[in-house]
Structure 1
């Protein structure tokens, strides 16, 4: 059995979940986020692209409803004992199978929470689910119930986070070795991802971001590779991934002679991220982090060139994104606690001059100052 945690840790997580369920007067929850299932049971699959749900009752009983392709996947990777299979067929409606299973579990008339805000829940499934369960019981949105519990990492999770951080550093080392005039983005990307794989890591939950020239201003992956010019800029955003735990980093590397604007934007990034470190600790909120970001950037006249968020929580994530729900944006009341793994990124895209600059790293929060997880400094990188 491919479990990454001791059964005692899974038992502790289940106890935390059921305690919260009782506090919110939930008789059961329907988990559709693969991250929730993985955290709670170890279940590891990409089968959430089809209908599947883990039912958790307030007494700790768990049942999985999934497809035949994931029956053995669940048996091999999780602690789930009660597994039910819905059958692929023309006009299949697995929510009917779910309703019948919920009835068998004595949940008729129960107050049931549902994870709606997840990539494992399509709009079609949500409509079918609501139609089946609207007269079955009281259905409430519990999208962030498990997500909030996953914010603070256990000692074992911290070990995996630190391993992911080392892999992220290895990927940057690989990129720096290859970045020079005439280098092909494809070779850089292959070396970075190869460093993670050769170090025992996993596929990330989303693609690495790579872009040079004008595309260095982008912060999403896109198809197409190019070679670096003698004077160029290369933006990279990537993550080391271990046991699905992610540690992200971000850098813009300047090839050739940096422009005055490059230096100016780098100084803004460095000043801002260093200021954020003073509030990235207990006693502050995620909103406080964003406010610091916006204040310094805007004072430097960069309001049009910055983003409306400057980072987010990280953890064990599945495609299509390594980003957690909890982000650094205006007004977010989420309190910062020790042992959160938080990615802080400075992204400046100056379309007026065609200049890009980014600077980002992941921190582990403590009772006091945050601990940067990277062995790399925040120094300007040129090639």
Structure 2
């Protein structure tokens, strides 16, 4: 069995979840977020692209409904003992089988939490769920219940985060060895992702982001690779991933020498990073971190070139993205606690001049502030 945590830690996480359920007046939880399933049982799959649900009752009952390809997957990667299979068919509705299972557990006329905000619950399947359970029990949106528990990491989780940070550093080293005028973006991606794999890491929750020239002003992956010009710039955003725990990094590399605009933007972006890290401390709202970023940018005439968020939590996440809850944006009231992990990105994208500068790295919140998981500085490096 490929469990990445001690059984006692998984059991304690479920106990903490049950306490939250009881405090909310709920009799059980229907989970559709793969992150929740992994966190509470170790279950590791991409089978959430189909209907599957993990049930946790306040009495400690755990049961999974999934498809046949994930039967052995669940047995091998989790401590779930009760695994139910729904059979593919043209008119099959697995939500009805879920209802029958809940009836078996005595959940008729009970109140159950549901992770509606989940990539594992499409709108179509959500309608089937609501239809199947209408009149059977009361449903309540509990999308963030487990996510709020996941946000503070255990010592074992922080070990994985730090390893992910090392792998992100390895990928950066590979990029620096590969980026130059005339380099092919595909070779850069291959070197970076290869470094993560060679270190025992995983595919990340979303694609690495790469773009040269005007594409350096983009912060999403898109299809189509090209060669870097002799005088150019390239923006990279990537993450080391280890046991699905992520540590993201971001950089813009001037190619053929840094321009005065690159140098100016880098100075402002790194000043913003320093301000954000000063604001990121226990007891303060995460919204204060964004305000620090915005203040430095706006004081330096970068209002039109900054974003409306400057980072988010890092943890165990599955495709389609590695972003976790909560995010740094204005007035976000979530209070920072030791053991939280965040990716801070100081993105500046000047569409008027065509220049970008986007330094970023991941940090762990400590008792007094935060520590970077990267061994690299934010110094401006050109190729």
- TM-score normalised by length of structure 2: 0.99
How big is the shift at 1:337? 0.4
Number of aligned pairs?
383
Instruction: Name the residue aligned to 1:198.
Output: 198
Take 2:258 and 2:376, find their aligned partners in 1: how far apart are those partners? 21
1:341 to 2:333 alignment: no
**1:215 partnered with 2:209:** no
Corresponding residue of 2:143: 143
Structure-2 residue corresponding to 1:290: 290
Tell me, in whole angstroms, the C-alpha distance in 2 between the residues paired with 1:328 and 1:277: 12
State how 1:178-193 maps to structure 2 within 5 Å. 178-193=178-193
| C-alpha distance in 1 between matches for 2:307 and 2:126 | 31
**Counterpart contact for 2:114–2:140, Cα < 8 Å:** yes
- 1:202-281 matched pairs, under 5 angstroms: 202-281=202-281
Within 2, Cα distance between the matches of 1:107 and 1:303? 53
Secondary structure at the counterpart of residue 166 of structure 2: helix
Distance (whole Å) between structure 2 residues aligned to residue 129 and residue 94 of structure 1: 9
Query: Separation in 2 of the partners of 1:66 and 1:283?
Result: 41
Aligned ranges for residues 109-120 of structure 1 at < 5 Å?
A: 109-120=109-120
Counterpart of 1:376? 376
Aligned mates of 1:138, 1:178 — CA distance in 2: 56
**1:227 deviation in Å?**
1.1
Given that 2:235 and 2:252 are in contact with CA atoms closer than 8 Å, whether structure 1 keeps it comes out as: yes
For residue 23 of structure 1, what is the aligned residue in structure 2? 23
- Which deviates more, 281-290 or 247-256? 281-290
1:293 match: secondary structure = helix
Q: Secondary structure at 1:97's aligned position in 2?
A: helix
CA distance in 1, matches of 2:302, 2:92: 52
C-alpha deviations, 1:46-98, integer Å up to 9, x for none?
Answer: 00000000000011110100011101100010000001011101111111111
Give the Cα–Cα distance (whole angstroms) in 1 for the partners of residues 173 and 76 of structure 2.
35
Report the 3-state secondary structure (helix = DSSP H, G, I; strand = E; otherwise coil) of the residue aligned with 2:191. Answer: helix
CA distance in 1, matches of 2:27, 2:305: 47
Q: TM-score, normalised by structure 1?
A: 0.99
Deviation of the 1:257 alpha carbon: 2.4
Quote the offset at 1:248 in angstroms.
0.2
Structural mapping, 1:35-114, within 5 Å: 35-114=35-114
SS at match of 2:22: helix
Question: How far apart, in 1, do the equivalents of 2:54 and 2:283 lie?
Answer: 35
Does 2:376 align with 1:361?
no
Deviation at 1:226, TM superposition (A): 1.1
User: Match of 1:312?
Assistant: 312
User: Is the CA contact (8 Å cut-off) linking 2:151 and 2:325 kept in structure 1?
Assistant: no
| Whole-angstrom CA distance in 2 between matches of 1:295 and 1:135 | 52
